[in-house]
């Protein structure tokens, strides 16, 4: 049992798992760029991955296999992280001398585990409705009796800009901080929230988010009001994730600051330093 635990917490086990993940990731890049799979790969963004994975009509089997393989690799890395952190933690308690950088690195590893869990959680929890096209007064019904209604669109620019490619829209053509859509969130028949969505400034209600992806040209040619394309999503772990991630970065920064001058026993390997 002790031998298995030592193997699972070993650095070479981490190294080989990461090598396997790199190879698997490279395969993913190839799949994402290949003609036959590119569209299917991008369709993974349309719904929450839990549904994409379980619905037989969604996605090719090869893609699903690739995704499951990636998750499996991350789980193995997670097991290694738990065993390694636990062993190092016990050692730190036994030899508690001059080990502040090691505590920091242990903390960073734990945060990394939580970040990875947060990523996985965002794939599996909540919901996601992509590319909802609404005109003024129209609404879209989604989860548990909720619906979102486009009440008003405020658009100050020349509507012809909406027919231009995104990369051609300059700051002079399109004022993303001035154009907005007033939205009303209803549940059953009652209003629960109303807010103003801008490009890159979504509406948030609890863990729910209504994102204004872009404006669409008006349907009538006589200069009617533009419509909108929305994404409605809910990620219950988002806030925690967005707080933990900077702590992980700061932790590495602090560790770097503490060990910058320490060329003694200079090992690049941060885990060895634990």
Which parts of this chain interact with other proteins (CB under 8 A)? 11-12, 14-15, 18-19, 21-22, 25-26, 28-29, 32-33, 41-42, 44-45, 119, 122-123, 128, 130, 166-171, 173-176, 199-202, 209-211, 213, 231-233, 235, 238, 241-242, 245-246, 248-249, 252-253, 255-256, 259-260, 262-263, 266-272
Q: Which of 11, 72 has the CB closer to other proteins?
A: 11
Q: Which of 172, 221 has the CB closer to other proteins?
A: 172
Shortest Cβ 149–other proteins spacing (Å): 18
Q: Which of 14, 225 has the CB closer to other proteins?
A: 14
DSSP 71-108: HHHHHHHHHHHHHHHHHHHHHHHHS-SS-HHHHHHHHH
Q: Which of 130, 182 has the CB closer to other proteins?
A: 130
Shortest Cβ 205–other proteins spacing (Å): 13
- Locate 163 and state its tokens: 């027919």
Shortest Cβ 266–other proteins spacing (Å): 4
Shortest Cβ 220–other proteins spacing (Å): 25
Q: Which of 18, 219 has the CB closer to other proteins?
A: 18
Shortest Cβ 17–other proteins spacing (Å): 9
- Locate 249 and state its tokens: 């970065």
Shortest Cβ 186–other proteins spacing (Å): 19
3-state secondary structure string across 99-125: CHHHHHHHHHHHHHHHHHHHHHHHHHC
Cα distance between residue 20 and residue 24, in whole Å = 6
The 8-class DSSP code of residue 198 comes to: E
Strands 203-205 and 146-154: unpaired
178 and 189 Cβ atoms separated by less than 8 Å: no
Name the residue with tokens 């992280």: 81
Q: Which of 96, 262 has the CB closer to other proteins?
A: 262
Cα distance between residue 250 and residue 244, in whole Å = 10
The 8-class DSSP code of residue 270 comes to: T
């Amino acid at each position: 049992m002790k031998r298995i635990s030592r193997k699972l917490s070993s650095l070479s086990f981490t190294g080989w798992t990461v090598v396997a993940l790199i190879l698997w990731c490279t395969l993913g890049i190839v799949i994402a760029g290949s003609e036959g799979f590119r569209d299917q790969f991008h369709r993974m963004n349309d719904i929450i991955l839990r549904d994409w994975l379980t619905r037989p009509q969604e996605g090719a089997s090869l893609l699903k296999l690739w995704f499951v393989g990636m998750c499996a690799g991350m789980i193995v890395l997670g097991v290694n992280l738990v065993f390694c952190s636990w062993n190092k933690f016990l050692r730190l308690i036994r030899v508690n001398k001059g080990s502040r950088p090691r505590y920091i690195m242990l903390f960073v590893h734990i945060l990394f585990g939580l970040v990875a869990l947060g990523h996985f959680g965002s794939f599996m929890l909540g919901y996601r409705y992509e590319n909802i096209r609404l005109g003024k007064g129209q609404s879209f019904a989604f989860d548990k009796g909720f619906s979102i209604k486009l009440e008003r669109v405020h658009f100050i620019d020349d509507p012809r800009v909406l027919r231009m490619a995104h990369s051609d829209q300059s700051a002079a053509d399109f004022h993303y901080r001035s154009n907005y859509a007033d939205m009303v969130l209803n549940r059953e028949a009652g209003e629960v929230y109303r807010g103003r969505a801008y490009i890159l400034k979504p509406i948030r209600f609890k863990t729910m988010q209504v994102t204004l992806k872009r404006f669409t040209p008006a349907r009538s040619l006589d200069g009617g009001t533009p419509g909108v394309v929305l994404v409605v999503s809910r990620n219950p772990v988002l806030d925690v994730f967005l707080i933990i991630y900077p702590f992980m970065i700061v932790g590495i920064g602090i560790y770097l600051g503490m060990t910058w001058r320490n060329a003694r026993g200079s090992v690049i390997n941060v885990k060895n330093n634990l």
